Amino acid sequence: MMSSETRFIPNTSEVAAEVLDGEAVLINLTNGMYYSLVGTGGFIWSLLEGGANVNEIVSALVVQYEVKAEQAEKDVRQLIDDLKTEALITDSNQEGGALPSDAPAQRQPYEVPSLKVYSDMQALLALDPPMPDLTDAPWKQPNAKA
Amino acid sequence: MNSLVSADFFRAIESAFLEAQKRETVYKSSYHLAGQPIQMQIAGSVLASHTLPPFSHLKAELDNPSLRVLLWDAKATGVPCPLGLPPETRTDEWGSATQAFAYGFERRYVEYRSHVGTTWLDRASNCLYGCYNDASQFTIYDYSRPLPWLLPVWCNDLGVQVVHTGMVSWKGSGVLLAGPSGSGKTTAVLACLSGGFDYLAEDQTGLGEQNGEFEGFSFYNSARVDANHLKRFPHLASHAQRENDQKTLLMLSELFPGQFVGEAPVRIMLLPRVTPRENSTLERATPAEALRTVAANSLMLPIGGGRRGFERLARLVRHVPCYWLSMGSDLGSIPSAVRGALSS
């Protein structure tokens, strides 16, 4: 069972992610699987990106949303299991970053975080997988300025 | 880098092209592509007749090309394809059953090999050479989108990302159409063209970004259309080149003369989907829905843009309004719905 103190980090070597209007969109650039984190999933993803552990995520959820700690912890653990199963996060030894400290004037309605998995690009990629990331491997004149 | 060896490798390719152009007529032309002047020289009439038409809408009289494209037909000229990148210089090799791609000499050169021939890009001199085995054996797939790998590499170096979208424009305002194959992009593009829109792309668009604004660039005016879809456009069907019962090719520049632009600012993005209704309607899409749709299909192109491409697409969907375009059976309702999206 994962410790409440364990920290996690996005698998940035393979996964790109953006949070837009509270929803996180993630894509695995090597296999074409893509994902949505809905409900409070986008909020939790932002905390994971900051290096938060389970305790810290639960505390932040209870402050920001109308949810009890027991329910929040159950949902966070399930979501983290799902994210690890899809290799979207890994354990981290790094220190945590800043967490949202201000309590809102009114807590928001709680929605269970969930991970939606989209695998429809898999068949296409079985034929022609994407190239190594060109934009991260540019060629420059040997004397060109970076 | 061993510059002597590097020069020898590319000199062999240059020499082969020079020999080819002595033996066959060379077709020279210039184009304005991805905001840049490019020049093409093609040795071999069949190769030229297959390669140039998809770019004809971008033709321009231009000097000082940013890219020179030099191609020859090995069978027509009798000049065989050179060996290509020396094995010891190759890196980042990628291959499938039908094609192979590699960098060489610390990524200065890029080589793409398929069943039709081999192309090489020198990223330092911006020269693209190509040797094709026999252009008379090309299929619709081969000649509908020439240089399908190395043009995107060159564009990437320019900061122009190739995305899997259609694009049209109305009075200078660009509309991206994003979705997986079969979602209705081509139907929407053809319906908009029939409704007076200008054309930029049916399947692949160049996406540039400058000062927070997004620009779409046209590459090809050729559209690969499934034969069943073409039945919905009887006025176009008789113009289609057919290879078999399934695949057809439309050269749109011949069908819609005067309705082409090389580039346009992106004002909105539409996500087409087919519905059983008669009329076409619009609903606002969330940025996340739009990003999922455009990113999954674009980043998984072989030259997809990777992480920076994803970040650019996220900025795009934050910047422009995005809508679901629910397309009805009345194709005439599509262009009016798109105009409505532009004016809302």
- Looking up tokens 């020396």 gives B86
Q: Counting beta carbons within 10 angstroms of the beta carbon of residue B35, is it exposed (0 to 12), middle (13 to 18) or buried (19 or more)?
A: middle
CA distance B159 to B340: 31
**How much is the average pLDDT of B187-195?**
95
Q: Counting beta carbons within 10 angstroms of the beta carbon of residue B283, is it exposed (0 to 12), middle (13 to 18) or buried (19 or more)?
A: exposed
CA distance A82 to A74: 13
Write out pLDDT tens, residues A88-107.
999 887 776 666 767 778 89
Q: Do B94 and A129 touch (CB under 8 A)?
A: yes
- The confidence score (pLDDT) of residue A30 equals 82
The one-letter amino acid at B205: T
CA distance B223 to B11: 36
Instruction: Report the residue of A11, A27, A134 to disrupt the B interface, i.e. the one with the largest count of B CBs within 10 Å.
Output: A134
Q: What CA–CA distances, in Å, run from A133 to A1, A103, B286, B313?
A: 36, 41, 27, 15
Give the minimum alpha-carbon distance from A5 to chain B in angstroms, rounded to a whole number.
Answer: 30
**How much is the average pLDDT of B193-222?**
96
* pLDDT surpasses 80 at B145: yes
ipTM rounded to 2 decimals: 0.86
Phi, psi of B163 (to 5 degrees): -120, 155
Give me the residues of chain A with pLDDT under 70, please: 1, 96-99, 101, 122-146
Which of B97-101, B244-248, B273-277, B338-342 bottoms out in mean pLDDT, i.e. has the lowest? B244-248
Q: Do A121 and B297 touch (CB under 8 A)?
A: yes
Nearest CA to B82 out of B172, B151, B19 is that of B19
CB B266 within 8 A of CB B174: yes
* Chain A to chain B Cβ contacts (< 8 Å): 102
The partner residue sitting opposite A139, judged by closest CB among B106, B292, B301, is: B106
- Residue B58 is given by DSSP the state G
- The confidence score (pLDDT) of residue A131 equals 57
CA distance B105 to B117: 21
B contacts of A134 (beta carbons < 8 Å): 153, 156, 303, 305-306
CA distance B203 to B216: 12
**Token pair for A127:** 């034929």
Give the minimum alpha-carbon distance from B39 to chain A in angstroms, rounded to a whole number.
Answer: 22
CA distance B237 to B240: 5
**How much is the average pLDDT of B182-196?**
93
Q: Which parts of chain B are beta strand (E)?
A: 26-33, 36-43, 67-73, 90-95, 99-104, 109-114, 117-122, 127-132, 161-163, 165-170, 173-178, 198-201, 205-210, 213-217, 222-226, 241-242, 247-251, 263-274, 281-284, 322-327
Which of A59-73, A125-139, B77-91, B166-180 bottoms out in mean pLDDT, i.e. has the lowest? A125-139
* Chain A: residue whose CA lies nearest to B123: A139
CB B227 within 8 A of CB B245: yes
Write out pLDDT tens, residues B317-333.
999 999 999 999 999 99
Nearest CA to B236 out of B270, B202, B274, B273 is that of B202
The partner residue sitting opposite B288, judged by closest CB among A27, A36, A135, is: A36
Start-end of CATH 3.40.50 domains in chain B: 161-343
> What is the torsional sign of CA A40, A41, A47, A52?
positive
B contacts of A46 (beta carbons < 8 Å): none
**Token pair for B181:** 């194959």
Q: Which parts of B229-320 are beta strand (E)?
A: 241-242, 247-251, 263-274, 281-284
* Of B146 and A131, more confident: B146
CATH of domain B161-343: 3.40.50
A contacts of B307 (beta carbons < 8 Å): 16, 29, 133, 135-136
Q: What CA–CA distances, in Å, run from A28 to A84, B286, B295?
A: 13, 21, 11
CA distance B26 to B76: 12
* Chain A: residue whose CA lies nearest to B306: A133
Give the minimum alpha-carbon distance from B137 to chain A in angstroms, rounded to a whole number.
Answer: 23
Q: Do A130 and B301 touch (CB under 8 A)?
A: yes
Mean pLDDT of chain B: 92
- Looking up tokens 């329910």 gives A71
- The confidence score (pLDDT) of residue B84 equals 85
Q: Do B302 and A32 touch (CB under 8 A)?
A: no
Strand B173-178 and strand B263-274: pairing? parallel
Q: Do A16 and B307 touch (CB under 8 A)?
A: yes
Instruction: Report the residue of A124, A135, A141 to disrupt the B interface, i.e. the one with the largest count of B CBs within 10 Å.
Output: A135
Write out pLDDT tens, residues B20-59.
999 999 999 999 999 999 999 999 999 999 999 999 999 9
